[in-house]
Amino acid sequence: MRDQTFAPTRILIYLVVSLIAAAWLAPLVVVVLNSLRTNEEIAQASMIGWPKHWAWSNYAAAWSGFCVAETCAGIRPYMLNSALVTIPATIFSTMLGAIAGYAVSLWRFRGDSWIYGIVTLGLFLPQQMRLLPWTIVLRDIGLINTLTGLVLIHTIQGLSFTTLFCRNYYVAIPHELIRAARIDGAGFFRIFWRIILPLSAPILIVTVIWQFTHIWNEFLYGVTFTSGQQQPVTAALIALSAAVADIPQHGVQSAAVIIAALPTLLIYLLGGRYFVRGLTAGAVK
Amino acid sequence: MTNAVSTATRPGRPAISGALRRLPEYLTIWVPLLLSAAHLVSFSLWTIWISFTPSTLVPVSGWVGLRNYTAVLATRNWKIAFDNLLLFGSAFVLLSVVTGLVLAILLDQRIRGENVLRSIFLYPLAVSFVVTGTVWSWLLNPGVGIQKLVHDLGWTSFKFDWLIDRDMAIWTIVIAAIWQSSGFAMALFLAGLRSVDADLVKAAQIDGAGPFRMYRRVILPTLWPITVTVVVIQLQFAISTFDLVRALTNGGPGIATQLPALVVYDLMFQRSLLGRGAAAAVLMLLILLAVLLPYAAWRYIQQRRATHA
């Protein structure tokens, strides 16, 4: 009796889930296929279709060939810019956030809850509230239109997330552990190196993945504080679309989009579990 | 609260050398935290201050009261942006919460391949809005996207041109935003479903509740705190949406898909009206606070109840 009503519902569930999943994958599939079709082929048909000739050359053109404004170096210099901003900013913000999270959760000092509260406000404050001050500060210290300037911004702003992540992880560590180490004469740094850091692998992976994804994908600061050859890849993609608006090169553009999305997609595929943990940890503040 | 300084300074040593010895520690704790806190506070105040000055190309001192605010509020650009935000915000939040909840309930039916499916629904979150906006701009472009495909297949009267339709263009942003971030709602709901008290479910089963009744009466009511959190986070995202629109419609056709974040950028960096741009940014902050302050109050009451119970 139960099984008879059971089976059709199960089939329906699988059907609905598969259909939604197909819809979710469709844009990715379309772009991947387009990246392998020639510009002419796409222009004749539509964006959605199976490649007639596999146009692998799109990737070469996207990587180092096409022109934005007067420079024809493809997407490569902008990918390099993004890497040179994202990697240092991820490392710095994670390291500093781990130490800060450790200090506010396990050491407790005068005013720690106040300063921690203010730092976490950074999770909510719109970027637009900081655009003008950053512009002025970067200009005054000579870092406007430099990658170093973007590293500085992302490190300081990333601290809100990294401190929160690490602090919430470290509060679960028993205080007795720290107290015992302190009685043995271990100081702030030694306890961090010897006790805290070896316990931190899961939260550091979550933090690194979160920071990397966010900084790599960031657009507003990139487009505001850098221009021309200094832009990160997200800003360059917009510039590319604008540059070829009259004669779209959809094949090459698709390849460029795939290349730009690849680093974060790969990290997601490799560390999906940690990515989701960061997502929910950031949500349940 | 223990005081790190007094417990760690050994007796007999002068306090000053103890403090010096601990200097690196103070620096590593305080410098990053102070920089972060100081930039948040001072930058906010700075922007608020600029919004009350007659600044145009460069920030200047002076006081114009609320003139920048009234000027921004009077522009058609802002009015359209605000109306769009109301429509986009409510449609996007409602639909992404419903989609996320449906996906979570479906995935919670002990189906095969749950991990793969979950990864599929979540992957857009790993990709930049610039990328997804660009891709959706192709798919929704009637000249090369879905409409063209259907035409080529033979149904030539088919029409799907929201991207270039002033009245419908905002819905293309809703579609892309739902596609991008419903997975987030799903992840939170799924975690909530997995933590529903098993005894509660068992008791309801013994009472003879079918699956529909079970969800309506027993399971969904336990999810509403998560729902509030999801709604607030999605609203926060909607209010600050910028990249997605830049890549998908760039505010157009005309200014039909303008949003507050685009108005801020336009005023600050394209029209060089810094005072008005700052005023628009503060208005964005106020919209955000209208969402976040009630939420914070609600969280506070919830926590007080939890500790008293």
pLDDT for A24-76, tens place per residue?
A: 999 999 999 999 998 888 888 888 888 888 889 999 999 988 876 677 788 99
- Cβ contacts of A42 on chain B, cutoff 8 Å: 144
Among chain B residues, the shortest Cα distance to A132 is held by B47
Containing domain of residue B18, as a range?
4-50
- Cβ contacts of A107 on chain B, cutoff 8 Å: 4, 29
- Do B18 and B147 share a structural domain? no
Mutate to test the interface with B, among A10, A47, A167, A226 (most CBs of B within 10 A): A47
- Say if the Cβ atoms of B128 and A267 lie within 8 Å: no
* Nearest CB partner across the interface for B285, out of A21, A129, A253: A129
Total domains in the fold of chain B: 2
State how far the Cα of A261 lies from the Cα of A268, in Å rounded to an integer.
11
Alpha helices in chain A (DSSP H): 2-34, 39-44, 57-64, 76-102, 112-121, 128-140, 147-170, 175-183, 188-191, 197-199, 201-217, 220-225, 233-243, 250-283
pLDDT score at B14:
56
Where chain B has pLDDT below 50, the residues are: 1-12
- Do B87 and B32 share a structural domain? no
| CA-to-CA dists, residue B23 to A191, A283, B3, B29, angstroms | 16, 35, 16, 10
Whether A256 and B167 have beta carbons less than 8 Å apart is answered as no
**DSSP letters spanning B61-105:** ----TTHHHHHHHHSHHHHHHHHHHHHHHHHHHHHHHHHHHHHHH
Q: Which helix (H) or strand (E) holds B213?
A: helix B211-213
Q: Is the dihedral of CA A254, A256, A261, A262 positive or negative?
A: positive
pLDDT score at A48:
87
pLDDT score at A264:
96
- Say if the Cβ atoms of A48 and B139 lie within 8 Å: yes
- Do B180 and B243 share a structural domain? yes
- Do B76 and B40 share a structural domain? no
Which residues 184-223 in chain B show a CB within 8 A of chain A? 184, 187-188, 191
* Nearest CB partner across the interface for A275, out of B33, B46, B126: B126
- Do B29 and B177 share a structural domain? no
User: The pTM is what?
Assistant: 0.91
pLDDT score at B99:
96
- Do B261 and B137 share a structural domain? yes
- Do B207 and B109 share a structural domain? yes
CATH code for residues A76-283:
1.10.3720.10
For B283, the token pair is: 């208005």
- Do B226 and B101 share a structural domain? yes
Residue B202 falls inside a structural domain? yes
- The identity of residue B232, as a single letter, is V
- Do B27 and B118 share a structural domain? no
Among chain A residues, the shortest Cα distance to B273 is held by A132
- Cβ contacts of A265 on chain B, cutoff 8 Å: 123, 126-127
- Say if the Cβ atoms of A126 and B281 lie within 8 Å: yes
Percent of chain B with pLDDT over 90: 61
Q: How many CB pairs under 8 A join A and B?
A: 257
- Do B102 and B45 share a structural domain? no
pLDDT score at B24:
82
Residue B111 falls inside a structural domain? yes
Residue B64 falls inside a structural domain? no
* Min distance A14 CA to chain B CA atoms (Å): 8
- Do B216 and B94 share a structural domain? yes
Residue B45 falls inside a structural domain? yes
Residue B58 falls inside a structural domain? no
Average pLDDT, chain B: 89
* Min distance B277 CA to chain A CA atoms (Å): 9
pLDDT score at B246:
94
pLDDT for A234-269, tens place per residue?
A: 999 998 888 887 788 889 999 999 999 999 999 999
- Say if the Cβ atoms of A133 and B119 lie within 8 Å: no
- Say if the Cβ atoms of B36 and A125 lie within 8 Å: no
- Cβ contacts of B282 on chain A, cutoff 8 Å: 129
Of residues A119, A115, A111, the one with CA closest to residue B4: A111
Among chain B residues, the shortest Cα distance to A94 is held by B32
- Do B121 and B12 share a structural domain? no
ipTM: 0.91
- Cβ contacts of B134 on chain A, cutoff 8 Å: 237, 241, 253, 257
- Cβ contacts of A13 on chain B, cutoff 8 Å: 106, 109, 111
pLDDT for B34-53, tens place per residue?
A: 999 999 999 999 999 999 99
- Cβ contacts of B233 on chain A, cutoff 8 Å: 283
Domain at B93, CATH number: 1.10.3720.10
- Say if the Cβ atoms of A250 and B34 lie within 8 Å: no
State how far the Cα of B232 lies from the Cα of A33, in Å rounded to an integer.
37
| CA-to-CA dists, residue B224 to A281, B185, B204, B221, angstroms | 18, 13, 19, 6
What is the CB neighbour count within 10 angstroms for residue A91?
Answer: 15
Mutate to test the interface with A, among B99, B109, B134 (most CBs of A within 10 A): B134
What is the CB neighbour count within 10 angstroms for residue B65?
Answer: 8
State how far the Cα of B137 lies from the Cα of B172, in Å rounded to an integer.
9
State how far the Cα of B202 lies from the Cα of B191, in Å rounded to an integer.
19
Contacts of A6 (CB under 8 A, 6+ apart): none
Region A90-98: mean pLDDT is 96
pLDDT score at A5:
52
pLDDT for B177-222, tens place per residue?
A: 999 999 999 999 999 998 888 888 888 888 887 778 888 888 888 8
Residue B219 falls inside a structural domain? yes
Residue A122, classified by CB atoms within 10 Å of its CB into exposed (0-12), middle (13-18) or buried (19+), is buried
Region A131-153: mean pLDDT is 95
State how far the Cα of A14 lies from the Cα of A16, in Å rounded to an integer.
6
Mutate to test the interface with A, among B7, B13, B40, B49 (most CBs of A within 10 A): B40
Residue B290 falls inside a structural domain? yes
